[in-house]
A and B are shown apart, each in its own frame.
Chain A
Amino acid sequence: MNGMSRRTFVGLGAAVAAGVASTSLTGCGSSTAKKTEAASANVKLPTYVPYTGVKPDLPPNAKGLDSGFLSYPKTLVRSVPKPPGDGSKVTLLTEIWTPPPTPKDANAHWQQLNKKLGVDLSVIMGTDPGYDQKFAATVAGNELPDLMWIPPNQGIQHVAQLLEAKCADITELVSGDAVKAYPHLAAMTQAHWKTAVVNGRIWGAPSPYPAFGQVYGGNPKVWEKAEGLSASSPDEFLAKCKEVTGGKVWALEPIYSNAVSVMSQCFGVPNKWERGKDGSLTFWMETDAYLEAINFAIKLKKAGVFYPGNPDMADAYIKMAQGSIGACVYANPTNARKDLRINAPELASQILVPFAAGGSGGPRHHLHRGTIGYTAIKKGDEKRVKMLLSILNYMAAPFGTEERESQEFGSRDLDFTFDKSGFPVRTAKGKKEVEGLRSGLETATVSPSALIASMFEGDARVQDVKDVYAIEQKLIPIGIPDPTVGHYSDAYTEYYPRMSTDAKDLVNDIVSGRKNIKEWKPFWTEAKKRGLDKMRKEFQKSLDKSGE
């Protein structure tokens, strides 16, 4: 996903639109509030039917390893035989992560895409931060768009009530083998579909995202001095950080909460929640191992290896490309490689694989939930709901299909041409018309994550795919999922954004020396009363019911 905001996807705290006042959805009944604890219990998820139209060069695996494509296919597969739409108007509320595209009236690519979709698609483009406010206002206006992207982590509350009151329950249309009527949606794994399950029913098409989580990505020129960005122990990592720090270069970006988050993987901290033998849930920040990770970050801070900026600095990636910062935290290995290539095409970022830093479980890699939410469909007659599902099916067309190319690059020779290596390159027209629209569409839904050479900038894109694939192979064995993925908690949507922001601020204050580490434990004692125990209880009940 192009330029996806670090605020949204990097770090637990940063994952939430920071400080956003909670915005409730009005116009939705509250009668279903109590049902939300049932979460995903016992729903029959759609059957997984992987897409086999184009064979990848590097095979995926069931544990989450991405497939890899090293070249652009010479002939594309047509996977949707006729336009799925019925000629009606369709509105989509989504978020874009790039500048907006040329407006529809003046955008030939958009108009062409509408012909292929068979509808008049209008896109309401939200931005980050602010999507939750845009969403709440749009819902309050009582003219719901036909398709609405619902992210799990941007402070949108009372989602269950909204879905029950205003959205179509698509369980029967996609559950089990029924999903085969929408082959691109069927190519999404059950882990993807879990995100779209609330109250034991399925409410939309998932928005797949790489399944890998936060990593340190580093500028190879900076880490050359210390034989690369890798370490086998905290002491070695500290020593390497000290070695590369000097003059106008610092080893790490000063976003301490992200540093602690990545280091916590080395200390064996669970991924968001950990289920005990008795079924109890422990939040990752409550653990002693997380405290150890904070202590290690304090040690790094005292050693002077963090860039002397503030923890909210917005241009750390650029500074890393320029060589003033050695390593930044990225949402996943793919982004680490892609982003540095954008800012410094000649540099191939190195990625730190978590090292053992103590703890009983060894190093872990916190896997991402693999989606950034789902796109729900407005309540309507079955025919229209099916038509809208077909539109989403079109939008999820995988790599190697005509449908994917037309959405990602537009029309050949008009919006894009091929470079000498056979990879598509957008023309001036395509640059203005395609990118922003594609960003909004792929936020709504897209085919499952894959490593595709054309995703990377520059001449070394094939090597980029191989390198990221190799890193993913190293991360898979230590990867752990968040056990609450696929389970819905109202308390989570209500309390988590604030709690997460406060926790992130406290970590930044503690590491920067403004507050004492002794404040960490009391913070969590207090957090239990301010919603943590409530979300724990709701998740636990949901997990118990589903037998997970």
Chain B
Amino acid sequence: MTLQIPPLTRRQRRVPDRRPAWEEPPSPVGNATKAVVIAVIVAVMVLPFLVVLSTSLASREEITAAGGFVLFPTEPTLEAYRTILSGGLITRAVLVSAGITAVGTALSLLTTITLAYALSKPGVPGRKPVLLLVLFTLLFAPGMIPMYVVVKELGLLDSYWSLILPGLVNAFNLVVMRAFFMNIPEELYQAARIDGAGDFRILTRIVLPLSKGVVAVVGLFYAVTYWNAFFNAMLYLNDSGKWPIQLILRTYVVQNKQLTGDALGVTNMPPQQAISMAVVMIALLPILALYPFLQKYFTKGVLTGAIKG
């Protein structure tokens, strides 16, 4: 008896030889399409930024000729920046924002790291109730008025601390960091303990050096939050001399109220759009400048925190 092997159909014959589409070498058309799509996406991202930058550097004549926004200024000038940084309203607001961001980020990182470390260790008394309390704030945010009353009762109204203390520990950031710490092998902790290290030494010498990624990411989240905050400032700061840059930005750029020469203490004002865009640039730049330095940690930090529980 001979074994009859049925002939392969045309389809069966073809399939084993063929690689999946994504393994095929890209065709020139495919490459060109990808390049075009990427270029369009990049343009969509970069163009508004370029317009903001260019307009902030443009002269009155160019802005008028362009009908409002300039793409490539022919004679760039820093007059708008000189005007708003001449020691008046914007300079003060930038310094306020920078101070709040620096102090707030440092304190938030300190409290988040120490709390996350404690909550990541099994056997810490009260770990679960504290964790539940933190998670509760993630699910049920306090309303504007309860928050205001708490800030007022703590005597923080009109104080810079009112912009820092209410958001000192962010539950999401805490969960991310705790998840990261829990992923560190237990053997490292045991070895450190055998060598006589206490919790503080373990945290500073072992855990933190291994957690640069997540610390950078969480630090960036905090910094961005502090830098961008305007709502709390609007509610809690009655003294306008303490207003941060974002409140100024919101009021006088987003709402297009004019930053007049009177307020800035100058007589020859650059065009309003240049001033507005310069304020936007000043509000954007510090945080934007941080990203390239933290980018290498970003993906790793976020993903690790996101998938571990």
| A interface residue numbers (CB < 8 A to B) | 3, 5, 7, 23, 26, 96-104, 106, 122, 124-130, 133-134, 136-137, 140-141, 143, 248, 314-315, 317-319, 322-324, 342-343, 426, 428, 431-432, 434-436
Contacts and interface: CB of A to CB of B under 8 A. Distances in A.
Which 10 pairs show the lowest CB-CB distances between chains A and B? A100-B240, A103-B241, A314-B256, A99-B263, A431-B262, A137-B148, A324-B67, A140-B145, A124-B238, A435-B262
Contact of A315 (B68, B247, B248, B259): B68
A100 B235 contact: no
Contacts of A104: 239
B81 interface: no
B261 interface: yes
Interface in B224-279: 231, 234-235, 238-243, 247-248, 250-252, 254-265, 267, 272-273, 276
Contact of A318 (B234, B239, B260, B272): B272
Contacts of B295: none
B68 A98 contact: no
A137 B241 contact: no
A99 B248 contact: yes
B169 interface: no
Interface string B54-87: 0000000001100110000000000000000000
B149 interface: yes
10 contacts: A98-B263, A100-B263, A133-B144, A137-B145, A140-B145, A140-B148, A141-B157, A319-B68, A342-B260, A432-B264
A3 B258 contact: yes
B89 interface: yes
Q: How large is the interface on B (under 10, 10 to 19, 20 to 34, 35 or more residues)?
A: 35 or more
Given A5-B255, A129-B255, A315-B256, A431 B241 contact: no
B251 A137 contact: no
B203 to A, nearest CB: 39
A137 B152 CA distance: 10
Contacts of B145: 26, 136-137, 140
Given A130-B234, A319-B68, A101 B255 contact: no
Contacts of B252: 99
B265 A432 contact: yes
Contact of B67 (A130, A317, A322, A435): A322
A255 B216 CA distance: 44
Contacts of A315: 68, 256, 272-273, 276
A104 B89 CA distance: 14
Nearest to A97: B257
A127 B249 CA distance: 12
B240 A134 contact: no
Contacts of B260: 3, 98-99, 342, 435
Contacts of B231: 130
B239 A103 contact: yes
B198 interface: no
B206 to A, nearest CB: 45
B88 interface: yes
Given A99-B89, A100-B243, A133 B235 contact: yes
A343 B272 contact: yes
Contacts of A97: 257
Nearest to A4: B257
A342 B271 CA distance: 11
Nearest to A249: B67
